[in-house]
Amino acid sequence: MPVIGSETVAKNIAAFGGGFIKHINKSMEKVRDMLDKEITYNASWQDHNLSYLRKIGYPYAKRHGPHGMEIHDPYWIVHKQSGELLSAKRSGIEEGSMNFGVLKAKAFVAIDENIVPHVLYVIWGTSKMIPRNFMTESLNNVKGPAIKYLQDNLTDFVFKFKPVSQ
C-alpha cells in the first residue's frame, strides 16, 4: 500500500537531520571555546614568578600537605613560567554523527605531553610535588555551563524547526 506524502516526510527527516548535525557541530565549537578559555586561564597565572615561589619555600612541595601552601585558592592553578605548556595546547571537535538513533559529538582540549613532558608531573605530581590537575578541574568548572548551553541551544533548534508541508 503506497504511503501518501512519504516524499515530504523523507524531505523533512533529511532537512532536520542534516541541519541538526550542522547545528551540533557549531554548538560543540562553542563548548570547545569555553573549555579552551578555562584551561588557558587556569594554566597561565602570573601573580607569582619562579623566584618568588622559590623564596617562599616551594609552595607546591608535598611537605606542605596535600594542597601545598595556601598561596591561592584553588590550589591546582598553574603559574606560567616559560609558556611552553600553553604552546603545546591543541583543541578541536569531532564532528557529530547519528548511528542507530545515538548522537555522538565531541569537543576536546589537550596538551601534548610529547612537546611538554613536564605537564604530566604538574597534573599527576611527583614524589616531592603535589598534583595539580588543572585539566580536570577546568573541565569540572565548564561542565555545568556547557551542558546548560547545549540543552538550551539544541532545544531551541528543535522547536524552531520549520517542516515542509505538502
Contact between 116 and 88 (Cβ < 8 Å): yes
pLDDT at 127: 94
pLDDT at 115 exceeding the cut of 90? yes
Domain edges within the chain: 25-160
The full DSSP string for the chain is -PPTTHHHHHHHHHHHHHHHHHHHHHHHHHHHHHHHHHHHHHT-B-SS-HHHHHHTT-TTBGGG-TT-S-SSSSTT--B-SSSHHHHTEEEEEEEEEEETTEEEEEEEEEE-TTT-TTHHHHHH--SSB----HHHHHHHHHHHHHHHHHHHHHHHHHHH------
pLDDT above 90: residue 141:
yes
Mean pLDDT of 36-55: 88
pLDDT bucket at 6, cuts 50 / 70 / 90: very low
How many whole angstroms separate alpha carbon 6 and alpha carbon 19? 20
- Residues, the chain: 166
Could you tell me if 59 and 71 are in contact, meaning their C-beta atoms sit under 8 angstroms apart? Answer: yes
pLDDT grade for 132, boundaries at 50, 70 and 90: very high
Q: What is the pLDDT of residue 159?
A: 65
From CA 136, how far away is CA 113, in angstroms rounded? 16
pLDDT class of 1 with cuts at 50, 70, 90: very low
Average pLDDT of span 131-148:
94
